[in-house]
């Protein structure tokens, strides 16, 4: 898997679970290393792009708020 279109706040599903049981991580940092935050427990880790490309199963964009929703 290649990671050319990775952006902040994307959700990455990894192949193996985190010890807390979560599979999904949010991208919180981009650069030579990618910062990820576990959506289950909030733990943050740094992975190189190569390691993330090996471990990632899928990447999805965050759901944009619809124009009808007013906070």
Q: Give pLDDT tens digits for 45-56.
A: 999 999 999 999
Residue 68, pLDDT > 70, answer: no
Predicted pLDDT at 63: 79
| Cα–Cα distance for residue pair 37/18, rounded to 1 Å | 11
Q: The pTM is what?
A: 0.81
DSSP string, 2-37: --TT--TT-EEEESS--TTS--EEEEEE-SSEEEEE
Residue 32 exposure: Cα atoms within 13 Å on the Cβ side? 0
Q: Give pLDDT tens digits for 1-42.
A: 566 688 999 999 999 999 999 999 999 999 889 999 999 999
């Amino acid at each position: 898997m290649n990671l050319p279109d990775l952006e902040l706040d994307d959700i990455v599903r990894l192949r193996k679970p985190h010890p807390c049981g979560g599979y999904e991580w949010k991208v919180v940092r981009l650069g030579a290393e990618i910062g990820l935050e576990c959506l289950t427990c909030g733990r943050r880790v740094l992975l190189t792009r190569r390691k993330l490309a090996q471990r990632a199963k899928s990447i999805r964009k965050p759901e944009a708020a619809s124009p009808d929703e007013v906070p």
